[in-house]
Each structure stands twice: as structure tokens, then as C-alpha cells.
Amino acid sequence: MHRMGLVLLLTAFVASGCGDDNGSTPDTKATMDSGPAADTGAPSAAFKGLDPYSVAKGELTIDTETTGDLTKVELLVDGKVVVSVTAAPFSLKWDTTKTQDGIRKLSLKAHGTAASATSDERPVVVLNNGEEATFAEPSTMTMTITPGVDNHVKIHWTMPVGIKKVISVLSWKNSEFKMEIAIGTGNCPHSGEKAADATSDTSPVVVEYGGTANLASVMWFTHAGATNEAELAGKSAEVTLKAFLLK
């Protein structure tokens, strides 16, 4: 009697759990499969608070802004990995003394579970054995174009002993301005000698001069002007002019 009741109970359970309206057996595997993992997107890393052509010396901490599921962030200098970190907040400590002075191109490579990608590039000036030129004038000033006058921004300094290269960098904020910078000896190109110059339609513009020999310890200049002055009468731009002296 008890055995028969147990058989009937099991039969009822199987009948109610294994069939559907048309008598077919449901695909329990399909209903239990949660599908592929969600795509969090390719990882990325960007420099945080590092201005283009800023000075890099000693041990430099480079902060980053990251997205995606990251496992590692690498810092590359001129395409070569110099340091990597594997944990948030992915700040990198770079010993710049192991890198030659001059303009160096930094880039970040973000690694993650989905993919890896090189993201964000930033030029800096490594300056462990040289110095930034100091001027009586401010390095950031306003250039206003007035017809019929000399609108150039000019900065002068006396070259220290032992300098082999000068790098001058000009940046500006008004995209209407197309700019030229120059470096040389004397008071300015009108009463001195231009050594090198460069032009650009977009900010910044960079010019370098020098080599292996020490530069003369005399008055030097770096100056900037708009190459399209005729189009800019009455217009102004905030410009920042810097000179880096490398030994």
C-alpha cells in the first residue's frame, strides 16, 4: 500500500515538471546559460595634470585617468617601456635621470581583460643637467596686433657657461593666430643673428638649436610673432614662451 502511493507521487511529479503545452521537453541548458560575459570595452589610460612640454627632472610621478577593466598600465618613453604598474590608481614613478635630456615623447599603454591599446601621448622636456632660462619679462603675456608697429614678443637672457642646446617652445590659445618663433644671438633678429626658427598653424610650435659644442656665453633671444598679422588687426592672443637650456 505504501509502495504504490510512492510510485503514484513520483509519476505525478515527473509529468508536471518535464512537459510543456505541446508535449515537448524544454531545453533546460538554454534556460540556465547566462550567456557571454558583458563587454566592458577596451581599456584606456590618459595623462592627468601633465602639460605638454613641461619640465621633467628627478623622479617624476605621473598620474593617470583610466577606463575599462585594467590589469596593467605601462609608461613608454620614445616607444620604450620604462615602468609599469598593476594596481589602481595606476600612478607611475619615472626616474628621468636614466633618460637623455631633451624633448621626449611619453605614451601610455593600457592592458586589460578585453584588449590592450596605446592611448594618449605627451611631449615633455627632460632637464636634469640643464636649466630653464629665466627672464625679466613674464613667460606668459598677451599679444595684441596693432598695424604699423612691431608686434613680436621678445625675451632675452645671457647664456650660462656649458650650454650646448636651446629648445624654445611657444604655445597660444587663439586659434586664429598662426605663429613663428626664433632663437639667436643679440637683442632680436632686427639687431642680432637668427640661429633657428619654426612656424606652425597650431599650438604649440617648437624650435631647437645646438649640438655638441658649447654655445657662446653672450646675449641670446627667443621671439615670437604672428605670420598672418594682416588678418589679425585688433585681435589678441595669450602666448607662453619658454626656453630650455641643455648641457
Residue 104 and residue 139 share a domain: no
For residues 158-181, average pLDDT: 96
Q: Is residue 14 part of a domain?
A: no
Residue 134's pLDDT band, with cuts at 50, 70 and 90, is confident
Domain boundary among 99, 126, 153: 126
Residue 144 and residue 235 share a domain: yes
Greater confidence (14 vs 25) lies with: 25
| Residue 42: predicted pLDDT | 79
Residue 157 CB-density burial (10 A; 0-12 exposed, 13-18 middle, 19+ buried): middle
According to DSSP, residue 182 is labeled E
Residue 143 and residue 113 share a domain: no
pLDDT digits (tens, 9 = 90+) for 69-115: 899 999 999 999 999 999 999 999 999 999 999 999 999 999 987 67
Residue 41's pLDDT band, with cuts at 50, 70 and 90, is low
Residue 195 and residue 103 share a domain: no
Residue 143 and residue 237 share a domain: yes
Domain boundary among 75, 106, 126: 126
Q: Is the model's pTM score more than 0.85?
A: no
Ranges of beta strands (E only) in the chain are 44-48, 54-56, 59-67, 70-77, 80-85, 92-95, 102-112, 116-126, 131-132, 140-144, 153-158, 165-172, 179-186, 192-200, 205-210, 219-226, 236-246
Residue 188 and residue 118 share a domain: no
Answer yes or no: is pLDDT of 197 > 70: yes
| Residue 40: predicted pLDDT | 52
Q: Is residue 24 part of a domain?
A: no
pLDDT digits (tens, 9 = 90+) for 136-146: 778 899 999 99
Instruction: Find the CATH number of the domain harbouring 177.
Output: 2.60.120.380
| Residue 13: predicted pLDDT | 33
DSSP 89-131: T--EEEEGGGS-SEEEEEEEEEEESS-EEEEEEEEEEE-SSSE
Residue 156 and residue 120 share a domain: no
Assign 179 to helix, strand or coil.
Answer: strand
Task: Count how many domains the chain has.
Answer: 2
Residue 237 and residue 154 share a domain: yes
Q: Is residue 10 part of a domain?
A: no
For residues 156-172, average pLDDT: 95
Residue 109 and residue 186 share a domain: no
Domain boundary among 111, 126, 141: 126
Answer yes or no: is pLDDT of 25 > 80: no
Q: Is residue 186 part of a domain?
A: yes
| Residue 36: predicted pLDDT | 39
Minimum mean pLDDT among 11-25, 35-49, 115-129: which range?
Answer: 11-25
Q: Is residue 39 part of a domain?
A: no
Q: Is residue 116 part of a domain?
A: yes
Residue 141 and residue 235 share a domain: yes
| Residue 8: predicted pLDDT | 31
Residue 151 and residue 118 share a domain: no
Instruction: Find the CATH number of the domain harbouring 100.
Output: 2.60.40.10
pLDDT digits (tens, 9 = 90+) for 177-191: 999 999 999 987 778
For residues 24-53, average pLDDT: 63
Residue 114 and residue 169 share a domain: no
Q: Is residue 147 part of a domain?
A: yes
- Give the rounded percent of residues in the chain with a pLDDT score beyond 90: 70
- Give the rounded percent of residues in the chain with a pLDDT score beyond 70: 82
| CA 135/CA 43 separation, integer angstroms | 43
For residues 12-39, average pLDDT: 40
Residue 48 lies in domain? 44-126
| Residue 27: predicted pLDDT | 45
Q: Is residue 12 part of a domain?
A: no
| Residue 242: predicted pLDDT | 94
Report the chain's mean pLDDT, rounded to a whole number. Answer: 84
